[in-house]
Amino acid sequence: MKQVQRFVAAAMLILIAAVTATAMDRDDAYHGPAPAVPEAPSLPLVAGQNCADPIVISSLPFYATGQTTCGMGNTYTATCLGNWDNGEDVIYRLDLAADTTIDIEMNPGATEWTALALSVNCPPTPCLATNTGWTGVRAIRDRTLVAGTYYIMVDTYPPPGCIPSFTLSVTADTPPPVNDLCEGAIDLMTLESNTIQIDLCAGYTDNYDSGASCTGSQTLGSDAVYKVYLQAGENFSANMATTGIGPFLWLVTDCNNVVGTCVAGTRNLIPFLSYDAAATGWYYLIVDSLNGCGLATVTIDAPVATESLPWGGLKARFK
């Protein structure tokens, strides 16, 4: 009996180890081998290198350029970020005199595989919020914090081992743009141009995830919503270019069921969408991103029926 119990216990340990290894290997499989990054040097001490001497944010708004983790050392590796804390890191301390809803944005430029963490503890574990991704701006938004002390850590999942230059902003939250949600979708026919410039970092949040069935991938970044009224048979097309994020466009008919009513979608490597309306009605164009946020330019080439019309003619038709 004891031998059976020992066998069962051993089998369970093997199973648990296998499941844990599988979960840990998911990032590794996509990211590739991670080289060892050295711990922080003992001298000279630099502000932000550790929890004892963080970079202090004593008032808002806070905006700093030319920040870096390079040369700071891989000080903390047992945090809520998991594999994403294995690069060199930098620590900020946020002191809030009153309850505040804040937005934190870290723009790493062209550096990929970056991470951002917010915690009441230093080193950060557990965390109040994290944001990780292979490209684009890292952002933690709409976090309502009571007066007190908080810590922000910027890190990487090596390679790269560090971020040569990034900007960090911490601001008091402002209401998102009206078209952050479907309910406030902007009618494309009311715009003065067929080209839309959108800063998805300007208060937009992640409200809609297209799912693989619509765009071929999850869309976990900030998104904005526009709408257009189409007659059955009309073609609607749009293309998208972005800075620092993977671009996604998708078209839905019901904001309460965006995945189930997605009629067309395009993923980041093919940012062109074209759709022939199956029925007359409102369609909602979701301008989205793979993760994080950034600048987006969307150009609308339609709707057209049997002949091509200039944008001015289209606007006249819909007034």
| CATH number reported for the structural domain that contains residue 123 in this entry | 2.60.120.380
Residue found by looking up tokens 């914090």 in the block: 145
- In DSSP notation, 108-172 reads -TT--SEEEEEESSSS--S-SEEEEESSS-EEEEEEEE-SEEEEEEEEE-SSS---SSEEEEEEE
Domain boundary among 110, 138, 172: 172
Q: How far apart are CA 293 and CA 162, in angstroms?
A: 21
Q: Same domain, yes or no, for 105 and 67? A: yes
Q: Same domain, yes or no, for 135 and 262? A: no
pLDDT of residue 113: 97
- Confidence label for 4 from pLDDT (cuts 50, 70 and 90): very low
pLDDT of residue 192: 87
Q: Same domain, yes or no, for 262 and 281? A: yes
Whether residue 2 is predicted with pLDDT greater than 60 in this model: the reply is: no
| pLDDT 10s digits, 36-79 | 676 655 545 689 999 999 999 999 999 999 999 999 999 999 99
| pLDDT 10s digits, 264-298 | 998 777 778 999 999 999 999 999 988 878 889 99
pLDDT of residue 257: 93
What would the mean pLDDT of 172-200 be, rounded to a whole number? 91
| pLDDT 10s digits, 120-162 | 999 999 999 999 999 999 999 889 999 999 999 999 999 999 9
| Contact predicate 204/173, CB 8 Å | no
Whether residue 12 is predicted with pLDDT greater than 80 in this model: the reply is: no
pLDDT of residue 306: 44
What would the mean pLDDT of 21-35 be, rounded to a whole number? 55
pLDDT of residue 318: 44
Question: Looking at per-residue confidence, does 311 or 244 come out higher?
Answer: 244
Domain boundary among 125, 147, 172: 172
Q: Which residues have a Cβ under 8 Å from the Cβ of 262 and sit 6 or more positions away? A: 210, 211, 213, 214, 215, 250, 251, 252
Q: How far apart are CA 292 and CA 104, in angstroms?
A: 11
Q: How far apart are CA 76 and CA 122, in angstroms?
A: 9
The token pair at 92 is 């900020």
13 Cα distance to chain centroid: 36
Q: Which domain holds residue 111?
A: 32-172
Whether residue 89 is predicted with pLDDT greater than 60 in this model: the reply is: yes
Flag whether 7 is in a domain.
no
Q: What percent of the chain has pLDDT over 70?
A: 80
Q: Same domain, yes or no, for 188 and 164? A: no
- The CA-based angle 168-171-175, given to 5 degrees, is 130
Flag whether 213 is in a domain.
yes
Q: Are strands 247-252 and 281-289 parallel, antiparallel or unpaired?
A: antiparallel
Q: Same domain, yes or no, for 182 and 314? A: yes
How many domains are there within the chain?
Answer: 2
pLDDT of residue 221: 87
Domain boundary among 172, 204, 236: 172
Flag whether 4 is in a domain.
no
| Contact predicate 201/139, CB 8 Å | yes
pLDDT of residue 60: 92
